[in-house]
Amino acid sequence: MNEMPPFDALWFRILVGFLIGAALGSFSTMLAYRLPRHISTVAPRSHCPSCGTTLQPRDLVPLFSWLLARGRCRYCKASIGARYFIIEVACSVAGAAACAAIGFTPSLIAALALIVALVTGAGVALSRRQP
């Protein structure tokens, strides 16, 4: 038998890469919002820019929170731009592709950092086009 260990199987690399990419996508949307506004990336905690309510963990699950709230703040119903969801999807797909191609090697960290940098840059550019 020449079976691959489960952690090296392609489906597992894609799944883990997708989940890591989703988390990094959420981080990237935070960077894309805060960096151009010179807001600390550490504090305050994530909040709605319209009503100021601090977001709860269930509001911060990448991809799902935006979908479940249908692109609106759960508290004040203000619209949340589709770019947040698009950035998280892009990061998830890029993370899955990088992990599938590279595997769990030190090069994956560099690839994921590059993905975050590129996606954050794109997010900043998008936010300058749309208020």
Please say whether the beta carbons of 55 and 47 come within 8 A. yes
Instruction: Select 48 or 97, whichever has its Cβ closest to Zn ion.
Output: 48
| Selected binder of Zn ion within 23, 63, 72, 75 (CB under 5 A) | 75
Say how many residues make up the chain.
131
Measured from the CB atom, is 9 or 78 closer to Zn ion? Answer: 78
State how far the Cα of 29 lies from the Cα of 85, in Å rounded to an integer.
9
Establish if 51 lies at the interface with Zn ion (CB under 5 A): yes
Tokens standing for residue 14: 């894609």
73 or 91: whose CB is closer to Zn ion? 73
What is the residue whose two structure tokens read 């090697």? Answer: 105
List of residues contacting Zn ion (CB under 5 A): 48, 50-51, 73, 75-76, 78
